[in-house]
Structure 1
Amino acid sequence: MKGTTRRRRAAALTAGVATAVLVITACSGGDDRDDPGPSTPSPAASSTPDPSASAGPTDTPTGSTDDDGSASAPPFPANTEPDTSEPSAGAALTVTDVRVGRHDGFDRVVFELGGTGTPGWRVEYVPEAVEDGSGNVVDLDGDGTLQVMISGSGYPTDTGVAEYAGPNPLRVAETDEVEEVLLGSVFEGSTQAFVGTDEVSPFRVYALTDPTRVVVEVRNDDV
Protein backbone atom coordinates (compact mmCIF):
# COMPACT_ATOMS: atom_id res chain seq x y z
CA MET A 1 0.00 0.00 0.00
CA LYS A 2 2.85 2.37 0.77
CA GLY A 3 4.37 1.70 -2.69
CA THR A 4 1.08 2.41 -4.31
CA THR A 5 0.75 5.67 -2.37
CA ARG A 6 4.22 6.80 -3.41
CA ARG A 7 3.42 6.08 -7.09
CA ARG A 8 0.19 8.11 -6.84
CA ARG A 9 2.01 11.01 -5.19
CA ALA A 10 4.76 10.92 -7.85
CA ALA A 11 2.19 10.87 -10.61
CA ALA A 12 0.30 13.79 -9.02
CA LEU A 13 3.52 15.76 -8.63
CA THR A 14 4.47 15.10 -12.24
CA ALA A 15 1.02 16.24 -13.42
CA GLY A 16 1.27 19.40 -11.29
CA VAL A 17 4.65 20.32 -12.74
CA ALA A 18 3.34 19.80 -16.25
CA THR A 19 0.35 22.02 -15.52
CA ALA A 20 2.61 24.78 -14.15
CA VAL A 21 4.79 24.63 -17.25
CA LEU A 22 1.71 24.98 -19.43
CA VAL A 23 0.50 27.99 -17.40
CA ILE A 24 3.88 29.74 -17.65
CA THR A 25 4.05 29.09 -21.38
CA ALA A 26 0.57 30.46 -21.87
CA CYS A 27 1.39 33.62 -19.89
CA SER A 28 4.51 34.24 -21.96
CA GLY A 29 2.29 34.69 -25.03
CA GLY A 30 4.66 32.87 -27.31
CA ASP A 31 4.31 35.34 -30.27
CA ASP A 32 4.46 39.13 -29.66
CA ARG A 33 2.54 39.84 -32.87
CA ASP A 34 -0.61 38.51 -31.22
CA ASP A 35 -0.26 41.04 -28.34
CA PRO A 36 -1.64 44.54 -29.24
CA GLY A 37 0.10 46.03 -26.23
CA PRO A 38 -1.33 48.84 -24.14
CA SER A 39 -4.09 50.82 -25.84
CA THR A 40 -3.10 54.49 -26.35
CA PRO A 41 -5.90 56.27 -28.23
CA SER A 42 -4.68 58.94 -30.62
CA PRO A 43 -6.23 62.40 -30.12
CA ALA A 44 -9.37 62.86 -32.17
CA ALA A 45 -9.42 65.63 -34.76
CA SER A 46 -11.29 68.65 -33.45
CA SER A 47 -14.40 69.66 -35.35
CA THR A 48 -14.00 73.24 -34.07
CA PRO A 49 -11.67 75.33 -36.26
CA ASP A 50 -8.84 77.21 -34.65
CA PRO A 51 -10.01 80.85 -34.57
CA SER A 52 -6.45 82.05 -34.93
CA ALA A 53 -6.15 80.27 -38.27
CA SER A 54 -8.76 82.45 -39.95
CA ALA A 55 -8.89 85.58 -37.91
CA GLY A 56 -10.82 88.34 -39.61
CA PRO A 57 -10.20 91.94 -39.36
CA THR A 58 -10.32 93.50 -35.90
CA ASP A 59 -11.82 96.78 -34.77
CA THR A 60 -8.42 97.89 -33.50
CA PRO A 61 -5.92 97.21 -36.27
CA THR A 62 -2.26 97.03 -35.39
CA GLY A 63 0.65 98.07 -37.54
CA SER A 64 2.67 101.10 -38.46
CA THR A 65 1.44 104.63 -37.94
CA ASP A 66 0.48 106.47 -41.09
CA ASP A 67 0.84 110.15 -41.94
CA ASP A 68 -2.78 110.74 -40.95
CA GLY A 69 -2.02 109.57 -37.41
CA SER A 70 -4.07 106.37 -37.47
CA ALA A 71 -2.87 102.77 -37.34
CA SER A 72 -2.21 100.91 -40.57
CA ALA A 73 -4.96 98.31 -40.98
CA PRO A 74 -4.35 94.83 -42.40
CA PRO A 75 -5.97 93.64 -45.67
CA PHE A 76 -9.68 93.30 -45.10
CA PRO A 77 -12.84 91.74 -46.48
CA ALA A 78 -15.51 94.29 -47.31
CA ASN A 79 -18.81 94.74 -49.12
CA THR A 80 -21.20 97.48 -50.16
CA GLU A 81 -23.88 96.77 -47.53
CA PRO A 82 -24.71 99.34 -44.80
CA ASP A 83 -22.41 99.21 -41.78
CA THR A 84 -23.84 100.20 -38.39
CA SER A 85 -22.75 100.46 -34.75
CA GLU A 86 -24.42 101.94 -31.68
CA PRO A 87 -22.89 104.77 -29.60
CA SER A 88 -22.33 104.48 -25.87
CA ALA A 89 -25.03 105.86 -23.59
CA GLY A 90 -24.71 109.60 -23.11
CA ALA A 91 -22.06 110.05 -25.80
CA ALA A 92 -21.49 113.70 -26.73
CA LEU A 93 -18.88 114.11 -29.44
CA THR A 94 -17.82 116.71 -31.99
CA VAL A 95 -15.79 116.13 -35.16
CA THR A 96 -12.51 118.01 -34.70
CA ASP A 97 -10.55 116.83 -37.74
CA VAL A 98 -11.01 115.07 -41.07
CA ARG A 99 -8.14 113.33 -42.88
CA VAL A 100 -7.91 111.38 -46.12
CA GLY A 101 -5.07 109.13 -47.19
CA ARG A 102 -4.15 106.59 -49.85
CA HIS A 103 -2.91 103.14 -48.81
CA ASP A 104 -2.09 99.82 -50.44
CA GLY A 105 -5.40 98.54 -51.78
CA PHE A 106 -7.68 101.12 -50.17
CA ASP A 107 -8.28 104.78 -49.34
CA ARG A 108 -8.88 105.83 -45.75
CA VAL A 109 -11.05 108.61 -44.33
CA VAL A 110 -10.57 109.45 -40.66
CA PHE A 111 -13.06 111.46 -38.60
CA GLU A 112 -11.41 112.48 -35.34
CA LEU A 113 -13.72 113.41 -32.46
CA GLY A 114 -13.49 115.13 -29.12
CA GLY A 115 -15.86 114.97 -26.19
CA THR A 116 -17.17 112.12 -24.10
CA GLY A 117 -18.32 108.59 -24.86
CA THR A 118 -17.93 106.24 -27.80
CA PRO A 119 -19.37 107.08 -31.24
CA GLY A 120 -21.71 104.95 -33.26
CA TRP A 121 -22.35 105.14 -37.00
CA ARG A 122 -24.40 104.22 -40.00
CA VAL A 123 -22.46 104.22 -43.26
CA GLU A 124 -24.12 103.34 -46.55
CA TYR A 125 -24.27 104.17 -50.23
CA VAL A 126 -27.13 106.53 -51.12
CA PRO A 127 -28.46 107.70 -54.51
CA GLU A 128 -27.45 111.31 -53.84
CA ALA A 129 -26.10 113.58 -51.11
CA VAL A 130 -29.15 115.03 -49.36
CA GLU A 131 -28.60 117.28 -46.33
CA ASP A 132 -30.48 116.32 -43.19
CA GLY A 133 -32.87 118.99 -42.00
CA SER A 134 -32.92 121.16 -45.15
CA GLY A 135 -33.36 118.37 -47.69
CA ASN A 136 -30.99 120.16 -50.08
CA VAL A 137 -29.08 118.05 -52.61
CA VAL A 138 -25.32 118.67 -52.47
CA ASP A 139 -23.00 118.34 -55.46
CA LEU A 140 -20.33 115.73 -54.76
CA ASP A 141 -17.51 114.46 -56.96
CA GLY A 142 -17.55 110.76 -57.78
CA ASP A 143 -19.92 108.13 -59.15
CA GLY A 144 -20.62 106.72 -55.68
CA THR A 145 -22.03 108.59 -52.68
CA LEU A 146 -21.16 107.11 -49.30
CA GLN A 147 -23.16 108.72 -46.50
CA VAL A 148 -21.54 108.69 -43.06
CA MET A 149 -23.77 109.32 -40.03
CA ILE A 150 -21.79 109.52 -36.77
CA SER A 151 -24.20 109.04 -33.89
CA GLY A 152 -23.52 110.14 -30.33
CA SER A 153 -22.74 113.63 -31.65
CA GLY A 154 -23.44 116.97 -30.00
CA TYR A 155 -23.15 120.65 -30.84
CA PRO A 156 -19.88 122.34 -29.84
CA THR A 157 -21.83 124.39 -27.33
CA ASP A 158 -22.90 121.14 -25.64
CA THR A 159 -19.65 119.17 -25.90
CA GLY A 160 -17.30 122.08 -25.17
CA VAL A 161 -15.14 120.99 -28.13
CA ALA A 162 -14.30 123.20 -31.12
CA GLU A 163 -15.54 121.68 -34.38
CA TYR A 164 -13.51 121.01 -37.52
CA ALA A 165 -12.62 124.24 -39.34
CA GLY A 166 -10.42 122.92 -42.16
CA PRO A 167 -11.07 122.63 -45.92
CA ASN A 168 -14.62 121.52 -46.64
CA PRO A 169 -15.09 119.70 -48.94
CA LEU A 170 -11.72 118.00 -48.54
CA ARG A 171 -9.99 116.66 -51.66
CA VAL A 172 -6.79 114.62 -51.97
CA ALA A 173 -5.32 114.21 -55.45
CA GLU A 174 -3.31 111.06 -54.67
CA THR A 175 -6.25 108.84 -53.67
CA ASP A 176 -7.63 106.08 -55.92
CA GLU A 177 -11.22 105.63 -54.73
CA VAL A 178 -12.10 108.65 -52.58
CA GLU A 179 -12.77 111.76 -54.68
CA GLU A 180 -13.77 114.15 -51.90
CA VAL A 181 -15.18 114.32 -48.39
CA LEU A 182 -17.85 116.79 -47.32
CA LEU A 183 -18.54 117.29 -43.61
CA GLY A 184 -22.10 118.35 -42.88
CA SER A 185 -23.81 119.51 -39.72
CA VAL A 186 -25.13 117.90 -36.55
CA PHE A 187 -28.79 116.94 -36.72
CA GLU A 188 -30.75 115.00 -34.11
CA GLY A 189 -27.64 113.61 -32.43
CA SER A 190 -25.73 112.63 -35.57
CA THR A 191 -23.01 114.32 -37.61
CA GLN A 192 -23.59 113.86 -41.32
CA ALA A 193 -20.79 113.56 -43.86
CA PHE A 194 -20.50 112.39 -47.45
CA VAL A 195 -17.65 110.57 -49.15
CA GLY A 196 -17.64 110.79 -52.94
CA THR A 197 -16.12 107.62 -54.41
CA ASP A 198 -14.84 106.76 -57.86
CA GLU A 199 -17.41 103.95 -58.01
CA VAL A 200 -19.61 101.94 -55.67
CA SER A 201 -16.70 100.11 -54.05
CA PRO A 202 -16.62 97.77 -51.02
CA PHE A 203 -15.93 99.52 -47.72
CA ARG A 204 -15.59 98.88 -44.00
CA VAL A 205 -15.90 101.00 -40.85
CA TYR A 206 -14.32 100.74 -37.41
CA ALA A 207 -13.48 102.89 -34.39
CA LEU A 208 -10.13 103.74 -32.81
CA THR A 209 -9.39 105.35 -29.46
CA ASP A 210 -6.86 107.76 -28.00
CA PRO A 211 -7.89 109.93 -29.76
CA THR A 212 -11.41 108.85 -30.62
CA ARG A 213 -11.82 108.21 -34.33
CA VAL A 214 -14.28 106.72 -36.80
CA VAL A 215 -12.42 105.25 -39.76
CA VAL A 216 -13.96 104.53 -43.17
CA GLU A 217 -11.88 102.54 -45.65
CA VAL A 218 -12.91 102.18 -49.29
CA ARG A 219 -11.28 99.24 -51.07
CA ASN A 220 -9.56 99.63 -54.41
CA ASP A 221 -10.13 96.45 -56.42
CA ASP A 222 -8.12 97.70 -59.41
CA VAL A 223 -4.72 97.00 -57.81
Structure 2
Amino acid sequence: MSRRAVLRACPSLLLAAAVLSACGDGGGTPAASPGTTPASSPSASAGSVATGSPEDTPVEGDPAPAEPTPFPGDARPDEQEASADSRGTVAEIRTGRQQGFDRVVFEVGGTGTPGWDVRYVDQASSQGSGAPVEVAGEAVLQVTLTGMGYPYDTGVEEWSGPDPLPGSGTQVVTEVAWDATFEGTSVAFVGTAAEVPFRVYALAEPTRIVVDIADRG
Protein backbone atom coordinates (compact mmCIF):
# COMPACT_ATOMS: atom_id res chain seq x y z
CA MET A 1 0.00 0.00 0.00
CA SER A 2 1.71 3.19 -1.16
CA ARG A 3 1.56 6.70 0.15
CA ARG A 4 2.07 10.06 -1.44
CA ALA A 5 3.74 12.93 0.31
CA VAL A 6 3.33 16.54 -0.70
CA LEU A 7 6.64 18.38 -0.37
CA ARG A 8 6.82 22.11 -0.32
CA ALA A 9 10.06 24.04 -0.57
CA CYS A 10 10.18 26.97 1.86
CA PRO A 11 11.90 30.26 1.00
CA SER A 12 15.57 30.65 1.82
CA LEU A 13 16.80 31.60 5.27
CA LEU A 14 17.30 35.16 4.08
CA LEU A 15 13.54 35.81 4.06
CA ALA A 16 11.79 37.34 7.04
CA ALA A 17 10.54 35.11 9.83
CA ALA A 18 6.97 36.07 9.04
CA VAL A 19 7.35 34.71 5.53
CA LEU A 20 8.90 31.51 6.87
CA SER A 21 6.01 30.91 9.23
CA ALA A 22 3.53 31.20 6.34
CA CYS A 23 5.29 28.37 4.50
CA GLY A 24 4.67 25.57 6.99
CA ASP A 25 4.18 22.01 5.81
CA GLY A 26 0.53 21.34 4.94
CA GLY A 27 0.96 18.07 3.12
CA GLY A 28 -0.94 15.87 5.52
CA THR A 29 -0.45 12.21 6.31
CA PRO A 30 -2.03 9.29 4.42
CA ALA A 31 -5.08 8.03 6.24
CA ALA A 32 -4.38 4.30 6.31
CA SER A 33 -7.00 1.89 7.55
CA PRO A 34 -7.52 -1.84 6.99
CA GLY A 35 -9.71 -2.65 4.01
CA THR A 36 -9.46 0.82 2.43
CA THR A 37 -9.17 0.84 -1.34
CA PRO A 38 -7.42 3.03 -3.91
CA ALA A 39 -8.23 6.69 -3.43
CA SER A 40 -7.66 7.73 -7.00
CA SER A 41 -7.54 5.52 -10.03
CA PRO A 42 -5.97 6.44 -13.34
CA SER A 43 -8.34 7.78 -15.98
CA ALA A 44 -9.34 4.30 -17.02
CA SER A 45 -12.52 3.56 -18.91
CA ALA A 46 -14.42 0.30 -18.63
CA GLY A 47 -12.49 -2.55 -20.16
CA SER A 48 -9.10 -0.83 -19.91
CA VAL A 49 -5.93 -2.04 -18.23
CA ALA A 50 -3.75 0.48 -16.42
CA THR A 51 -0.23 -0.10 -15.14
CA GLY A 52 1.48 1.32 -12.10
CA SER A 53 0.54 1.09 -8.43
CA PRO A 54 -2.13 3.66 -7.46
CA GLU A 55 -2.67 4.40 -3.79
CA ASP A 56 -5.03 2.18 -1.82
CA THR A 57 -5.66 4.96 0.74
CA PRO A 58 -6.77 8.60 0.47
CA VAL A 59 -4.34 11.37 1.37
CA GLU A 60 -5.41 14.10 3.74
CA GLY A 61 -5.09 17.55 2.21
CA ASP A 62 -5.70 16.45 -1.38
CA PRO A 63 -7.58 19.25 -3.13
CA ALA A 64 -11.20 18.49 -3.98
CA PRO A 65 -12.30 18.93 -7.61
CA ALA A 66 -13.62 22.41 -8.38
CA GLU A 67 -16.77 20.86 -9.84
CA PRO A 68 -18.13 17.31 -9.50
CA THR A 69 -17.49 15.22 -12.61
CA PRO A 70 -20.17 12.90 -14.02
CA PHE A 71 -19.71 9.26 -13.10
CA PRO A 72 -18.23 7.45 -16.15
CA GLY A 73 -20.49 4.41 -16.18
CA ASP A 74 -24.04 3.09 -16.34
CA ALA A 75 -26.07 0.14 -15.04
CA ARG A 76 -25.68 -2.06 -18.13
CA PRO A 77 -23.63 -5.30 -18.06
CA ASP A 78 -19.88 -4.83 -18.49
CA GLU A 79 -17.81 -7.60 -20.13
CA GLN A 80 -14.13 -8.01 -20.97
CA GLU A 81 -12.18 -11.06 -22.16
CA ALA A 82 -9.26 -12.42 -20.17
CA SER A 83 -5.77 -12.32 -21.64
CA ALA A 84 -4.65 -15.53 -23.33
CA ASP A 85 -2.19 -16.28 -20.49
CA SER A 86 -4.59 -15.50 -17.63
CA ARG A 87 -4.52 -17.97 -14.77
CA GLY A 88 -5.22 -16.24 -11.50
CA THR A 89 -6.68 -16.63 -8.02
CA VAL A 90 -8.43 -13.95 -5.96
CA ALA A 91 -6.07 -13.33 -3.06
CA GLU A 92 -7.83 -10.38 -1.42
CA ILE A 93 -11.06 -8.38 -1.60
CA ARG A 94 -11.34 -4.81 -0.30
CA THR A 95 -14.14 -2.27 -0.09
CA GLY A 96 -13.90 1.47 0.44
CA ARG A 97 -15.47 4.85 -0.03
CA GLN A 98 -14.43 7.46 -2.60
CA GLN A 99 -15.89 10.83 -3.56
CA GLY A 100 -19.23 10.12 -5.21
CA PHE A 101 -18.92 6.31 -5.32
CA ASP A 102 -17.96 3.14 -3.48
CA ARG A 103 -15.19 0.82 -4.62
CA VAL A 104 -14.68 -2.95 -4.50
CA VAL A 105 -11.23 -4.28 -5.38
CA PHE A 106 -10.43 -7.88 -6.27
CA GLU A 107 -6.67 -8.43 -6.02
CA VAL A 108 -5.56 -11.38 -8.13
CA GLY A 109 -2.33 -13.37 -7.98
CA GLY A 110 -1.04 -15.55 -10.80
CA THR A 111 -0.37 -14.82 -14.46
CA GLY A 112 -2.04 -12.63 -17.08
CA THR A 113 -5.06 -10.37 -16.67
CA PRO A 114 -8.48 -11.80 -15.79
CA GLY A 115 -11.57 -10.97 -17.77
CA TRP A 116 -14.95 -10.16 -16.27
CA ASP A 117 -18.69 -10.17 -16.65
CA VAL A 118 -20.33 -7.77 -14.19
CA ARG A 119 -24.09 -7.27 -14.15
CA TYR A 120 -27.11 -6.87 -11.92
CA VAL A 121 -29.04 -10.10 -11.31
CA ASP A 122 -32.48 -10.78 -9.84
CA GLN A 123 -31.18 -13.58 -7.61
CA ALA A 124 -27.71 -14.52 -6.39
CA SER A 125 -27.14 -18.19 -7.21
CA SER A 126 -24.02 -20.26 -6.61
CA GLN A 127 -22.33 -21.38 -9.82
CA GLY A 128 -22.30 -25.11 -10.28
CA SER A 129 -25.01 -25.95 -7.74
CA GLY A 130 -27.45 -23.13 -8.43
CA ALA A 131 -28.16 -22.82 -4.70
CA PRO A 132 -29.31 -19.35 -3.59
CA VAL A 133 -26.72 -17.08 -2.00
CA GLU A 134 -27.89 -14.61 0.63
CA VAL A 135 -26.73 -11.05 -0.06
CA ALA A 136 -27.85 -8.04 1.98
CA GLY A 137 -29.08 -5.10 -0.08
CA GLU A 138 -31.85 -3.96 -2.42
CA ALA A 139 -29.90 -5.03 -5.53
CA VAL A 140 -27.23 -7.62 -6.36
CA LEU A 141 -24.28 -6.99 -8.66
CA GLN A 142 -22.74 -10.27 -9.78
CA VAL A 143 -19.00 -10.14 -10.47
CA THR A 144 -17.76 -13.07 -12.56
CA LEU A 145 -14.00 -13.16 -13.15
CA THR A 146 -12.72 -15.33 -16.01
CA GLY A 147 -9.31 -16.78 -16.74
CA MET A 148 -9.08 -17.99 -13.15
CA GLY A 149 -7.55 -21.09 -11.59
CA TYR A 150 -7.58 -23.10 -8.39
CA PRO A 151 -4.88 -22.39 -5.79
CA TYR A 152 -3.08 -25.64 -6.62
CA ASP A 153 -2.86 -24.43 -10.25
CA THR A 154 -1.66 -20.89 -9.54
CA GLY A 155 0.26 -21.31 -6.31
CA VAL A 156 -1.76 -18.43 -4.82
CA GLU A 157 -3.81 -18.88 -1.64
CA GLU A 158 -7.44 -18.00 -2.29
CA TRP A 159 -9.17 -15.30 -0.26
CA SER A 160 -10.79 -16.85 2.80
CA GLY A 161 -12.97 -14.10 4.22
CA PRO A 162 -14.57 -12.65 6.18
CA ASP A 163 -17.54 -13.82 4.14
CA PRO A 164 -19.64 -11.84 3.64
CA LEU A 165 -17.28 -8.87 3.66
CA PRO A 166 -19.05 -5.75 4.97
CA GLY A 167 -18.67 -2.40 3.26
CA SER A 168 -15.88 -0.29 4.80
CA GLY A 169 -17.38 3.18 5.24
CA THR A 170 -19.44 2.66 2.09
CA GLN A 171 -22.75 4.36 1.28
CA VAL A 172 -24.09 2.14 -1.53
CA VAL A 173 -22.25 -1.19 -1.11
CA THR A 174 -23.74 -3.23 1.73
CA GLU A 175 -21.49 -6.29 1.55
CA VAL A 176 -19.58 -8.65 -0.74
CA ALA A 177 -20.52 -12.33 -0.66
CA TRP A 178 -17.92 -14.73 -2.06
CA ASP A 179 -19.22 -17.72 -4.01
CA ALA A 180 -16.53 -19.99 -5.44
CA THR A 181 -14.06 -20.76 -8.20
CA PHE A 182 -15.36 -23.31 -10.69
CA GLU A 183 -14.17 -24.29 -14.18
CA GLY A 184 -12.03 -21.21 -14.74
CA THR A 185 -14.38 -18.60 -13.25
CA SER A 186 -14.60 -16.99 -9.81
CA VAL A 187 -17.83 -15.38 -8.66
CA ALA A 188 -18.69 -12.83 -5.99
CA PHE A 189 -21.91 -10.92 -5.31
CA VAL A 190 -21.92 -7.25 -4.33
CA GLY A 191 -25.00 -6.13 -2.43
CA THR A 192 -26.00 -2.54 -3.20
CA ALA A 193 -28.66 -0.09 -2.04
CA ALA A 194 -30.08 0.19 -5.58
CA GLU A 195 -29.31 -0.63 -9.23
CA VAL A 196 -27.00 2.34 -9.72
CA PRO A 197 -24.36 2.94 -12.43
CA PHE A 198 -21.01 1.17 -12.14
CA ARG A 199 -17.75 0.78 -14.06
CA VAL A 200 -15.12 -1.96 -14.18
CA TYR A 201 -11.44 -1.82 -15.09
CA ALA A 202 -8.15 -3.61 -14.46
CA LEU A 203 -5.01 -2.32 -12.76
CA ALA A 204 -1.57 -3.91 -12.83
CA GLU A 205 1.31 -4.40 -10.38
CA PRO A 206 -0.40 -6.03 -8.57
CA THR A 207 -3.24 -7.22 -10.78
CA ARG A 208 -6.59 -5.88 -9.57
CA ILE A 209 -10.09 -5.84 -10.98
CA VAL A 210 -11.80 -2.71 -9.73
CA VAL A 211 -15.57 -2.15 -9.56
CA ASP A 212 -16.68 1.42 -8.84
CA ILE A 213 -20.35 1.82 -7.88
CA ALA A 214 -21.94 5.27 -8.08
CA ASP A 215 -24.01 6.92 -5.39
CA ARG A 216 -27.76 6.97 -5.77
CA GLY A 217 -28.92 10.06 -7.66
TM over 0.5: yes
Q: Deviations over 1:111-166 (max 9, x none)?
A: 00000111100000000100000110111100110000000100001111111123
SS of equivalent residue, structure 2 residue 96? strand
Q: CA deviation at 1:90?
A: 3.1
Q: CA deviation at 1:174?
A: 1.9
1:67 paired to 2:57: yes
Question: Counterparts of 1:216 and 1:207 in 2: how far apart (Å)?
Answer: 9
Question: Counterparts of 1:203 and 1:176 in 2: how far apart (Å)?
Answer: 14
1:148 paired to 2:138: no
RMSD, aligned α-carbons: 2.1
Look up the match of 1:102: 97
Q: 2:162 aligns with which of 160, 167, 174?
A: 167
Q: Deviations over 1:42-67 (max 9, x none)?
A: xxxxxxxxxxxxxx754439997232
SS of equivalent residue, structure 1 residue 138? coil
Question: Counterparts of 1:112 and 1:132 in 2: how far apart (Å)?
Answer: 21
Question: Counterparts of 2:158 and 2:152 in 1: how far apart (Å)?
Answer: 10
1:196 paired to 2:191: yes
Which has the larger Rg? 1
1:209 paired to 2:204: yes
Question: Counterparts of 1:63 and 1:111 in 2: how far apart (Å)?
Answer: 14
Q: 1:112 aligns with which of 97, 100, 107?
A: 107
Question: Between Structure 1 and Structure 2, how many residues are aligned?
Answer: 162
1:183 paired to 2:173: no
Q: Deviations over 1:68-118 (max 9, x none)?
A: 9xxxxx863211100000001131100000000011100000000000111
1:84 paired to 2:109: no
Q: Is the 8 A contact 2:194 2:216 kept in 1?
A: no
- Flag as ranges the 4+ runs of structure 1 deviating above 6 A: 61-64
SS of equivalent residue, structure 1 residue 207? strand
Query: Structure 1 or 2: larger helix share?
Result: 1
Percent identity (aligned): 49
Q: CA deviation at 1:172?
A: 2.4
Q: Is the 8 A contact 1:91 1:117 kept in 2?
A: yes
Q: Which one has more relative contact order, counting CA pairs under 8 Å at least 6 apart?
A: 2
Q: Is the 8 A contact 1:57 1:76 kept in 2?
A: no
Cα distance change on mapping 1:61 and 1:94 into 2, 3 Å: closer
Look up the match of 1:7: none
Q: Is the 8 A contact 2:52 2:204 kept in 1?
A: no
Q: Is the 8 A contact 1:105 1:221 kept in 2?
A: no
Question: Counterparts of 2:159 and 2:83 in 1: how far apart (Å)?
Answer: 22
Question: Counterparts of 2:188 and 2:172 in 1: how far apart (Å)?
Answer: 17
